[in-house]
Amino acid sequence: MIETYRGMVYPNQLDNMGHMNVQWYAAKFDEATWQLFSAIGVTSEYVRDQKKGMAAVEQNTKYKSEVTSGDLLVIRSKVVEIKEKVVKLFHVMYDAETMVEVASSELVAVHLDREDRKSCPLPPIVKERCIDLFDISS
């Protein structure tokens, strides 16, 4: 797994229960997702210049331990499967000081043509980088 996010829980991210609201877990996992995409070749430059992108089609998050204001977080991520047009990712969020796992998220994303608004094959470099970084194949 590679580090894809490092940050903090802010007071405005808490809900009425006093812990980080689920919308902020989703936001932090989303930031981690884009860092992971960049690492495998779906960079912001690629998205802009090639008019391609990624769209989440499924996400499953598990909450394991609450986090509160001031807690430092780190997310580590990996690609677990890659197909012609689809990438399956796995993220683990940790308390950065204790390294206790606080949440995890599985995500399925589809590569798409942003002009046609349809799925399309991933570029070969993405598969190559996934194999190199995470020792997986399609």
- Sketch out the chain's domains with CATH numbers: 2-134 (3.10.129.10)
Query: Block means of pLDDT (10 residues each) for the chain, length 138 residues?
Result: 98 97 97 97 96 97 97 98 96 98 98 97 94 82
pLDDT of residue 137: 65
C-alpha–C-alpha distance, residues 96 and 5, integer Å: 11
pLDDT of residue 84: 95
The token duo for 120 is 């399309």
For every residue of 33-82, DSSP letters joined together read HHHHHHHTT--HHHHHHH-EEEEEEEEEEEE-S---TT-EEEEEEEEEEE
Do 32 and 4 contact (CB within 8 A), yes or no? yes
pLDDT of residue 50: 95
pTM for the full predicted model: 0.94
